[in-house]
Amino acid sequence: MPLRSGLAGHVELTVTDDDTAIAVRSGDVPVLSTPRIVALCEEAAVAAVTGQLEQGETTVGMRIQLDHLAPIAVGGRVTVDARLDKIQGRRLLFTVSVNDDRGLVAAGKVQRVVVERARFMDKTN
């Protein structure tokens, strides 16, 4: 099945000490870190296109725009949703949102690019 707008991905996380700003060195408070939220948004975007790419293709991150709006303590649970809104050639633009039981925690855009895995890896040498 080819890529198409509307594909969606979903991930969930219960926040542990390993997910905090302290653990990832992005701050000194024991709450869900912004870098971890970014990783969750990327994970949800990847999930949205899993099984939809051609053999040998993958996606790589290109751009993130994110507003982190609320703190989440250790033990809190978040859900992350990504929706593929636009396809521009090899570029995929997703809208992402992170929520907990109280509401919106973070929101933004993730842009990923479809690449041929082997060719992409050749560029690392």
Query: In tens digits, what is the pLDDT along the chain, a chain of 125 residues?
Result: 579 999 999 999 999 999 999 999 999 999 999 999 999 999 999 999 999 999 999 999 999 999 999 999 999 999 999 999 999 999 999 999 999 999 999 999 999 999 999 999 999 98
Q: Residue 123 — φ and ψ, nearest 5°?
A: -75, -10
Whether 41 maps to a domain, the answer reads yes
Nearest residue to 45 via CA among 102, 94, 87, 2? 94
Residue 2 belongs to a domain: no
What does pTM read for this prediction?
A: 0.95
Its domain, for residue 81, covers 8-122
Q: So what's the pLDDT on residue 90?
A: 96
Cα within 13 Å of Cα(91), Cβ side: 9
CATH of the domain at 114: 3.10.129.10
What pLDDT score was predicted for residue 1? 56
Structural domain count, the chain: 1
Q: How far is CA 76 from CA 16, 38, 101, in A?
A: 8, 17, 9
pLDDT for 122 equals 93
The residue type at 35: P
- Does 3 fall in a domain? no
